[in-house]
Structure 1
Amino acid sequence: MSHTDYRLPAEWEAQSATLLAWPAAESDWRGVLDAIRDEYRQLIDAVRSFQPVVLLVPQDEPLPEVLAEAADLHPVALRYNDTWCRDYGPVIMVFSGYRLALDFHFDGWGGKYPASLDNRVNTHLARHELFDRMQFRQYLFELEGGAIESDGRGRLLVNWHCLRARHPHLTEREIDFELHNLLNVDKVLGIDIEPMTGDDTDGHIDTLARFTDHDTIVFQTQGEDERTARLRGQLETLRNRDENEYRLVALPCPDDIDPGLPASYANFLFVNDGCLVPAYGSRHDEAACDILAELLPDRRIVQVPAATMITQSGGPHCASMHIPAALG
């Protein structure tokens, strides 16, 4: 069937599993290995209470016994550079019970970090029995999962600042053309704002603004009023599929933790019947959960610790890649 038959589902649609990568001993986490592995154990347990987990594990390290005995946990032993699999995992489209996994080029967020092993992960997954009912296609276009946000109905939300950083040889119009054709979307909705302090992704959309339904966008209040006003002002210009303004809902700024860290409650993670919200040890953690609980009344809101994750500029959304169910 044609690529154009597929659509990119919203993250709140049904999922078959969540992909995660276990922090390796010899990695950027080695100085805080016990702390980050404790956070990952809690993240894995939180996801498993809703759906299965596919866990990348280093080939040369044994899986911790507490995880080896876990139900609905599917370890996949291979080599990878980093844990942030949102940005190198497969971007999966769906059509009438079929799934198409897009394997985009990943270059370590613009060449900032080694990524040759990460860029091979999807090639290995394509050969694994867990993915044998899924078609994989490779593309040279550089695209990270954290840089795109789909409403499932043809609207794609991006931050142009980030995409231009990845493709300085292309015009914005040319990038828009690639996104339309590769992801089969009707319209690319773009904001254009510099990354938060400490964000080395060049401003991924999953740190700034997310859909919670077809008509609502939540956005992360920034540390500076001027940046918040700019972000909100740009979001106010966007229109949904019915050409109406989006309902905009602000998430609080965790301004009582290190201002050099890009802590964002917009980095929450959808799972089946649930929403996992990063907890940074801020006095605003509960308020962020309350806001999302009001927006998502049919989902269980669960806090997951992210105080160590954020020291490497990420959260639960960055740490994962959702695997959509075989939808229509």
Structure 2
Amino acid sequence: MTSLRVLPAEWAPQSAVVLTWPHPGTDWAGMLDEVEPVFLEISRSILRFEHLVISCEHVIRLQDLERDLNAWAGQQGLPGRVYAVPAPANDTWARDHGPITVLTDNTPTLLDFRFNAWGGKFPWEKDDALNRHLANFGVFGTAPMETVDFILEGGSIESDGEGTLLTTSECLLTPSRNASMDRGAIEQSLSEMLGAERILWLNHGYLAGDDTDSHIDTLARFCAPDHICYVVCPDVADEHYSALAAMEEDLREFRQRDGTPYRLTALPWPDPIFGDDNERLPATYANFLIINGAVLLPVYGVPQDEKAISIISKIFPDREIIPINCRALVQQHGSLHCVTMQIPKGVVTL
């Protein structure tokens, strides 16, 4: 009997979430006082439902975090505990340098893909080695870790948990990642490594200020095997209007295995947010994190936040919706989902 490999959907049961903590050696150096509270709020929200793995290059800060968060979780009677790992890191985007876990006959294997900072845009050597540090520290118990000679970021793929992947051609086909591979070769690799039986390619859509070449987790997300939510820009004068309208048409053309269209839910378009250099930042409500019993939703202190909370509440009626202000995160061109990586049930045990 052939073993079945699958990339679990994000709503599948989890054991932990991985965070790579900001430190003075990262681009967060000038705004640690602003961004650390966001990481702490994310951490406390996760510990209400499951364990948390934190790595940090600064050991003293890491020890303080482990002590304080575990003490807080214990006082609250929460199920989650912190597993702290001292490890070097270039940055904090765990979604993209973290391990991607597949299940083979329900047995987990962590895949350590190569990471090159979205096509060599920034230093990456420490981040590329981080998963091995975590594994060598024993974080993942007996689950094996495979090194994969293929550049892939977790934010570039979405899984329905049933063999269908959603991605963007702008990201996976860019020559700065896997230059020697065409679309067919990439599809074959994703089939072998992640058990992908079908790949849905979005050929349109982008966010200004995005360094990732249009990661799918900023644009469109599986909410269930038959349901996709996505960002839409209603302002015809906005630079995003045409590309996101074309992306919406891509989504309308997609079909499920049985030939029926997907259920589609449009997410609000937040008011523009600009950085200190007046560059537009990639704020998006699609960058939420699904965990056991909850959805952590990035909000930005803009009028559309309330509508986003309402829509996500209707999409996930059986989960608590926890809004977290991520205006500080988006200053470095990412958001909530970008700084987290979930680990399936049965891997991290404390």
TM-score (norm 1): 0.95
Q: Kindly indicate whether the alpha-carbon contact (under 8 Å) linking 2:55 and 2:62 is maintained by their aligned counterparts in 1.
A: no
CA RMSD of aligned residues (A): 1.8
1:239 lines up with 2:255 in the alignment = yes
Distance 2:151 2:92 in 1: 18
| Residue 278 of structure 1 pairs with residue 289 of structure 2 | no
Equivalent residue letter for 2:298:
P
Deviates most, 151-160 or 193-202 = 193-202
Aligned to 2:128: 119
Q: CA deviation at 1:326?
A: 3.8
2:316 is matched with which residue: 279, 296, 304?
Answer: 296
Q: Deviations over 1:236-262 (max 9, x none)?
A: 111123221101111011124337111
Which residue pairs with 1:225 in the alignment? 241
Aligned to 1:173: 184
Q: What displacement does 1:66 show? A: 5.7
Aligned 1:298-313 pairs, distance under 5 A: 298-313=318-333
Aligned residues: 326
CA distance in 2, matches of 1:304, 1:289: 11
- Equivalent residues of 1:194, 1:202 under 8 A apart: no
- Inter-CA distance 194–225: structure 2 relative to 1 (3 Å threshold): closer
Q: Structure 2 regions of 5+ residues with no counterpart?
A: 71-80
Is 1:197 the counterpart of 2:208? The answer is: yes
Within 5 A, what are the aligned runs for 1:147-158? 147-158=156-167
The one-character-per-residue Cα deviations of 1:47-89 (angstroms, maximum 9, x if unpaired) are: 1111111001114443374652323111111111110010011
Look up the equivalent residue of 2:326 and give its one-letter code.
A
1:140 equivalent to 2:149? Answer: yes
1:15 maps onto 2:25 in alignment: no
Distance 2:298 2:220 in 1: 15
* Distance in 2 of aligned mates of 1:273 and 1:254: 26
Corresponding residue number in structure 2 for 1:39: 38
Structure 1 residue 92 corresponds to structure 2 residue 94: no
Which residue pairs with 2:74 in the alignment? Answer: none
Q: Is the 8 A contact 1:96 1:326 kept in 2?
A: no
Q: Secondary structure at the match of 1:62?
A: helix
State the TM-score, normalized to the length of structure 2: 0.89
Q: Is the 8 A contact 2:205 2:246 kept in 1?
A: no
Distance 1:35 1:11 in 2: 28
CA distance in 2, matches of 1:280, 1:163: 28
Counterpart of 1:104 in structure 2 is: 113
Gaps of 5+ in 1: none
Q: Return the offset for 1:325.
A: 1.1
Q: State whether residues 198 and 261 of structure 1, in contact with CA within 8 Å, keep that contact through their aligned partners in structure 2.
A: yes
C-alpha separation in 2, matches of 1:309 and 1:62? 20
Give, in angstroms, the shift of residue 196 of structure 1.
1.1
